[in-house]
A and B are shown apart, each in its own frame.
Chain A
């Protein structure tokens, strides 16, 4: 399980699409970008994104609260904001636990 092969990036994903699907490297890179962009756009519209077999990207609305600058101790208001959480599907959890 702990066979760490480093960090996977966009370049690795488009290489994978190039090898598995046979698209050109340029087209593979473009389609990877499109996937991320569509997900990002949906979230920015306020829609949750559910990818079956992988997990759900869920938006949560946070109310305003009083924060504190940890260095100076000065109280500052933290504006209401939207945050993104990820809930992994059972399949993803299982594959991580079993290591394959």
Chain B
């Protein structure tokens, strides 16, 4: 399922909303999650899963094409842990 298919399904559920409004709702949701993660917080959606960020320390990377070493600075990366109910539903 891709984003546009999700919008389509939601439009069917909500005939009173225009597809444009539905797209805006979807954008609002994923934007709110992104914003909170960027602020260093976490997002917990019971039954679905939790989004958080994890620290990665600085390291010496390598350009795979040229073999040159390049410094990679410390950063935070997004992480998702599926919820319990989700794990169960994937395996019925």
Contact = CB atoms under 8 A, between A and B. Distances in A.
Dominant SS among interface residues on chain A: mixed
Nearest to A1: B40
A26 interface: no
Contacts, number: 149
B70 to A, nearest CB: 16
Contacts of A47: 1
Contact of A42 (B1, B32, B77): B1
B25 A31 contact: yes
A54 B78 CA distance: 11
A34 B13 contact: yes
A40 B86 contact: yes
A64 to B, nearest CB: 13
Nearest to B48: A36
Contacts of A100: 38
Contact of A32 (B1, B29, B49, B86): B29
Contacts of B9: 38
Contact of B91 (A3, A53, A82, A92): A82
Contact of A13 (B3, B29, B39, B86): B29
A21 B22 CA distance: 9
A71 interface: no
Interface string B1-25: 1110010011001100000010011
Interface of B: 1-3, 6, 9-10, 13-14, 21, 24-26, 28-30, 32-34, 36-49, 51, 53, 75-80, 82, 86-87, 89-92
23 contacts: A5-B39, A7-B42, A13-B29, A13-B33, A16-B32, A17-B29, A20-B28, A31-B10, A35-B6, A35-B25, A38-B9, A40-B86, A44-B89, A49-B2, A51-B3, A52-B2, A54-B33, A81-B90, A83-B82, A85-B80, A88-B77, A96-B75, A96-B77
